[in-house]
Amino acid sequence: MSLLKAAIIGGGHIADQNHIPALKALNEQVEVIAICSRDIEKATALADKHGIPFAFDNAAEMYDQEQNLDLIINCTANNLHYPYTMQALENGCHVLCEKPPAMNAKEAREMADLAKIKGKILAYNFQRRQSPEYTLLKKFQEQGRFGEIYHIKANYLRRRGIPGWGNFTNKTIQGGGALIDLGVHILDMALGLLDYQMPDRIIANIYDFIGRAGGKGLKGEWDPTKFEVEDASFAYLSFPNNASIALSSSFALNQQEEEIVNLEVFGTKSGGKLYPLSIFTEVAGELADVSFPHLTETDNQLQNTIAFIDACNGKESNICSAEEGAILQEIIEKIYQSATPV
């Protein structure tokens, strides 16, 4: 099997701390040969730090010079996911794109359609689905041990976790706030337990009370006068088979805990909780709670990168696919459309 040639588009923290280390760990399968950022100094510094041969500030020039590229890691800002992914696909590259897939459902659908036309893998970096807890929860679902799953509580809630850096409160660049940044992760996992169906009914509300008022921050200070997105989102999704998801996400919520990230699953045979992984069922006619104290921790980003490389090599993979990304983005768009105006 030949070595895959990779390039990174986007020179920020996620490239530096997540994607490049994961790719370097797979140096027998993939070689990172270029970094591209609109800031050439940032691209050069990142390339020097990681021993990557080439740095560019123009993606078109990169494709002209490096015509043997096999795959692109797109870790640009949300509003750049679509143009850089489409450009990569047009240049014959597989793409692993950061979440969320795009700014709207139309973009995500066009990305999925072009990937299919070009015969290339387009996948999204929902690395939380690689956690050992979720992997085992998914196995339970696939083996029918939950019976029919009819309701899921999906929560990604921060008490005062509005990011005080970057563009997280800029709607033009991000497309949204807590839902599109945090909620997408937990929604991806919940949809995976329902075989990625499309809901037929959605009711939702979004709020920005704390974000616009300002206050104490646990992830840096934010400027309330420039807060343009929702700080909390609550949605109820109902599916054609009568299953449902209650999805809650927040940057800022007056709750006790600093952060809550969890799935609670309710099925006809048993239920479960993701963190700590627990199954609630009956054994020999008695109620039983099953725990898993010996799960081995994994590097979720590395495992998701492995899943992407496997897909590029035609192997079975549990990576978030282009089609799943299109479904997810359409649901996110419908949640925003349903929500009470801020």
The model scores a pTM over 0.85: yes
Name the 3-class secondary structure at 338: helix
State whether 214 and 144 are in the same domain.
yes
Total domains in the chain come to 2
Kindly state whether residues 287 and 139 are assigned to the same domain.
Answer: yes
CA distance 281 to 157: 27
Is 278 a domain residue?
yes
For residue 280, being part of any structural domain is answered with yes
Q: Does residue 341 lie in a domain region?
A: no
Q: How many other CB atoms are found less than 10 A from the CB of residue 240?
A: 10
Q: Helix, strand, or coil here: 233? A: strand
Gap between the Cα atoms of 127 and 109, Å rounded: 21
Please tell me whether residues 138 and 283 are part of one structural domain.
Answer: yes
Report helix, strand or coil for 271: strand
**Final residue before a domain boundary, out of 71, 98, 127:** 127
* pLDDT the model gives residue 34: 98
- Choosing from 109, 127, 145, the residue where a domain stops is 127
The whole domain housing 39 covers 4-127
Which DSSP symbol is given to 2? P
Q: Which of 127, 150, 170 is the last residue of a domain?
A: 127
* Tens-place pLDDT, residues 76-93: 999 999 999 999 999 999
Are 208 and 249 members of one domain? Answer: yes
Residues 178 and 94 in one domain: no
Could you tell me which of 185, 235, 184, 229 has the C-alpha nearest to residue 210? Answer: 229
Residue at 202 is within a domain:
yes
Is the pLDDT higher at 166 or at 273?
273
Q: Are residues 278 and 228 in the same domain?
A: yes
What whole-number percentage of the chain has pLDDT above 70? Answer: 99
CATH code for the domain in which residue 152 is found? 3.30.360.10
- The count of other CB atoms within 10 Å of the CB of residue 273 is 18
The answer to whether residues 205 and 234 touch, using CB atoms and an 8 Å cutoff, is: yes
Are the beta carbons of 121 and 324 closer than 8 angstroms?
Answer: no
Band (1; pLDDT cuts 50, 70, 90):
low
322 lies in a domain? Answer: no
| Residue 220 half-sphere exposure toward CB, CA atoms < 13 A | 10
In this predicted model, what pLDDT tens digit does every residue of 107-145 receive, in sequence order? 999 999 999 999 999 999 999 999 999 999 999 999 999
| Same domain assignment for residues 105 and 62 | yes
Asked whether residue 341 carries a pLDDT value surpassing 70, the answer given is no
The pair of structure tokens assigned to 210 is 């704390």
**Which residues are 156's β-sheet partners?**
249, 261
Question: Would you tell me how many other CB atoms lie within 10 Å of the CB of residue 122?
Answer: 32
Q: Would you state the structure tokens that stand for residue 268, as one six-digit string?
A: 């006809």
333, part of any domain:
no
Question: Based on the domain organization, do 191 and 249 belong to the same domain?
Answer: yes
Strand partners, 26: none
Q: What is the pLDDT of residue 270?
A: 98
In the chain, beta strands by DSSP E? 4-9, 30-36, 54-56, 71-74, 94-97, 122-124, 149-158, 201-207, 232-238, 244-250, 259-267, 271-273, 278-283, 286-291, 320-321
Asked if residue 204 and residue 59 are part of one domain, the reply reads no
Residues 10 and 66 grouped into a single domain: yes
Regarding whether 235 and 123 lie in a shared domain, the answer is no
Q: Does 282 lie in the same domain as 145?
A: yes
Question: pLDDT (tens digit, 9 = 90+) per residue, 196-248?
Answer: 999 999 999 999 999 999 989 999 899 999 999 999 999 999 999 999 999 99
CATH code where residue 74 lies: 3.40.50.720
Domain membership of residue 337 (yes or no) is no
- Yes or no: say if 195 and 149 are a contact pair by the CB < 8 Å rule: no
**Lookup: tokens for 4:** 């895959």
User: Would 340 be classed as within a structural domain?
Assistant: no
Mean pLDDT computed over every residue of the chain: 96
Distance (Å, rounded) from C-alpha 103 to C-alpha 109? Answer: 11
